[in-house]
Structure 1
Amino acid sequence: MATKSAQISCINKREHSSPYERIEYVGGITGGKRWRITENEAINYILQDEWDFFVSVNGRTVKVVVSQHSGHRYLKTEADGFAPNNLLNLTECPLY
C-alpha cells in the first residue's frame, strides 16, 4: 500500500472523443496546498506504489485505479454502483 493518499477533486479534459483519453490533468488540495499533475504522472505514482488517489462520491470514498484499453493506460474509479464515470464528472481544475 502506498504511503501517501490524496483526494482528486478536479480534472482538466483534453478535446478528445475517446473516454479513455479525455483526462489531461488531475488535481486537488492536500495539506492545504492546491496541486495538479498530469494523468500520466498520477498513473506512474499509482503503479510505483507511491500514492493512492481517491474521489468522494455521495459521501463515500472511491479508489482511483489504472486501467488499460487498446494499449492506452488511463485513470478510472473502482466500480461503485454510480454512473457515469466519477472522474469525468469532477469540476475543472483552476489553471495556474
Structure 2
Amino acid sequence: MAQNVQITCINKTPRMDPHDRIHSVGGVNPDGTRWKLGQQEAIAGVEAGKWQFYVSVGGKSVWVIVATSRWGNKYLKTEDDGEQPNNLLSLPECP
C-alpha cells in the first residue's frame, strides 16, 4: 500500500518548459527531519506504488500524479492542474 506523503517544497531548473522545470520535490517527515527526492525517483516511487504524493495549497489538498508530455516525457503535476502545473510550481524552494 502506498504511503501518503505531502510535498511542501520543490527545486526548479531554469528551463521555461513547465514540464521540465521541477528538478526535485521535498517535505518534512513526522519526526521533523526534511526529505528530498529527484523528480525521476519520485515518479518511479509513484509508479511502483511506494508513495502517493499530495500538496496543500490555500487549504485544499490535491493528489500529485504522473503525467506524460506530448513529447513522451514523464513529469509530476497535481490532479487539479491543467497543462500548466501551477500548484507544484507555486511551492517554495527546498533548502
User: One-letter code of the match for 2:87?
Assistant: N
Cα deviation per residue 1:2-31 (whole Å; 9 max; x = unaligned)?
Answer: 1x1111000000111111000001000021
Could you say which residue in structure 2 is the equivalent of 1:58? 58
Could you say which residue in structure 2 is the equivalent of 1:37? 37
For structure 2, the residue ranges without an aligned partner over 5 or more in a row are none
Q: TM-score, normalised by structure 1?
A: 0.89
Q: 1:30 to 1:73 in 2, by over 3 A?
A: same
User: One-letter code of the match for 1:40?
Assistant: Q
For structure 1, the residue ranges without an aligned partner over 5 or more in a row are none
Q: Which runs of 4+ in 1 moved over 4 A?
A: none
The alignment-based identity, stated in percent, is 50
Give the Å deviation of 1:59: 1.0
Q: CA RMSD in A?
A: 1.7
Q: 1:22 to 1:84 in 2, by over 3 A?
A: closer
Decide whether the 8 Å contact of 2:43 with 2:76 is kept in 1. yes
Q: Equivalent residue of 1:15, what SS?
A: coil
* 1:53-92 correspondence to structure 2 within 5 Å: 53-69=53-69, 70-79=71-80, 85-92=86-93
Give the Å deviation of 1:78: 0.4
2:27 pairs with 1:12 = no
Could you say which residue in structure 2 is the equivalent of 1:22? 21
